[in-house]
């Protein structure tokens, strides 16, 4: 953070070139350890909270009952942590070359400051770990993710783990038709 605000990440020339075509998938070997990016920002609305609460069926009165939420120590409704995680995951997939994901295999979050409708969130993603796995076609990549609001407060911190296709294995599969 710089002055309570993150600055847009300055990418290496290689990554900047790839960012021009964000639909070009990156393989495990292409993901540089320590590389980070700052997402665009998004404002959480009352409609976002209502839709998520209805979809999830999580009618906690802190999210779903305006009078109860106003009388709470938060002074109004808050967004479910799972909504913050979902929005952050979505923001993390915009404006950057996407990894050739086989699947998301884990997420872990700490919610540090309540998020309320009207808050604007942005996140910083940093590739913190990567390793081979038993299946030689894939590798495991883990991103450290920090989420801040418009006041520069760290509202959530977590990790997102994905299995990513390896280039050599993807090429061999294409050649053999398997």
Name the residue with higher pLDDT: 10 or 80.
Answer: 80
- Position 174 scores a pLDDT of 57
CATH number for the domain running over 13-176: 3.10.129.10
- Position 2 scores a pLDDT of 34
Domain edges within the chain: 13-176
Encode pLDDT of 135-163 as tens digits.
999 999 999 999 999 999 999 999 999 99
Token pair belonging to 138: 């894939």
Band of residue 16 on the pLDDT scale cut at 50, 70, 90: very low
Q: What is the mean pLDDT of residues 90-112?
A: 91
- Position 172 scores a pLDDT of 60
* H/E segment holding residue 17: helix 13-19
DSSP output for 52-96? HHHHHT---HHHH-HHHHHHSTTSS----HHHHHHHHHHHTTSSS
**Contact by Cβ (8 Å): 42, 155:** no
Q: What is the mean pLDDT of residues 17-41?
A: 80
- pTM for this structure? 0.81
CA distance 149 to 96: 21
Helix axes 81-91, 46-56, angle to 10 degrees: 110
Residues 6 or more apart from 35 whose CB is under 8 A from it?
Answer: 11, 12, 15, 126, 127
* H/E segment holding residue 126: strand 120-132
């Amino acid at each position: 953070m710089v002055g309570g605000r993150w600055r847009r990440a300055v990418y290496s020339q290689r990554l900047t070139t790839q960012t021009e075509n964000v639909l070009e998938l990156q393989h495990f070997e292409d993901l540089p350890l320590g590389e980070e990016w700052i997402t665009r920002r998004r404002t959480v609305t009352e409609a976002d909270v209502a839709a998520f609460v209805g979809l999830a069926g999580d009618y906690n009165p802190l999210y779903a009952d305006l009078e109860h939420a106003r009388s709470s120590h938060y002074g109004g409704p808050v967004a479910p942590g799972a909504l913050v995680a979902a929005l952050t995951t979505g923001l993390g997939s915009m404006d950057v070359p996407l990894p050739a994901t086989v699947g998301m295999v884990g997420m872990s979050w700490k919610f540090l400051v309540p998020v309320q409708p009207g808050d604007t969130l942005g996140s910083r993603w940093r590739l913190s770990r990567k390793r081979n796995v038993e299946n030689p076609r894939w590798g495991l990549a883990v991103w450290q993710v920090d989420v801040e609001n418009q006041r520069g407060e760290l509202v959530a911190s977590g990790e997102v783990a994905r299995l990513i296709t390896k280039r050599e294995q993807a090429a061999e599969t294409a050649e053999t038709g398997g």
